[in-house]
Amino acid sequence: MRVSALNYNGEGPKSVPLSIQACVIPSGVPNPVLVSSTITSITISWGSVENDGGCPILSYALFRDDGANGAISTPVDVGTIANKPYLFEHTLSLAALKGKVV
């Protein structure tokens, strides 16, 4: 975007361009907090983002590691959480295997 001024004698020089994005990715996502746990489930909560990037939040996503100490990149309960921008708490069911929760 640029601006110029106009008077009786004509148009003056244009301003330096300004680059604007009306909507960017959200930032300031708070860390999840453990609310409660059992041998087969955990309940976590989280707060809203600090900055929505100029657009309403559409959804949140939860991720966990692969169970083998890998990266925290495995999506969890995608269909249950998707399209619920006001969801700030979720209970995850965990599979019990030989006395261990995985």
Tell me the pLDDT band of 101, cut-offs 50, 70 and 90: very low
Its domain, for residue 52, covers 25-102
What pLDDT, in 10s, does the model give residues 7-34? Answer: 999 999 999 999 988 899 999 999 999 9
Total of domains in the chain: 1
Question: Is the separation of the CB atoms in 16 and 3 below 8 Å?
Answer: no
**What is the band of 6 on the pLDDT scale with cuts at 50, 70, 90?**
very high
pLDDT at 70 over 50: yes
Domain with 68 in it: what CATH number? 2.60.40.10
Q: Is residue 10 part of a domain?
A: no
Quick check: is 74 in a domain? yes
The answer to whether the CB of 44 falls within 8 A of the CB of 33 is yes
Banded model confidence at residue 97, pLDDT cuts 50, 70, 90: very low
Asked whether residue 42 is domain-assigned, the answer is: yes
Q: Do 74 and 66 contact (CB within 8 A), yes or no?
A: yes
The amino acid at residue 12 is G
Residue 30 included in any domain: yes
Please indicate, yes or no, if residue 78 is contained in any of the structural domains: yes
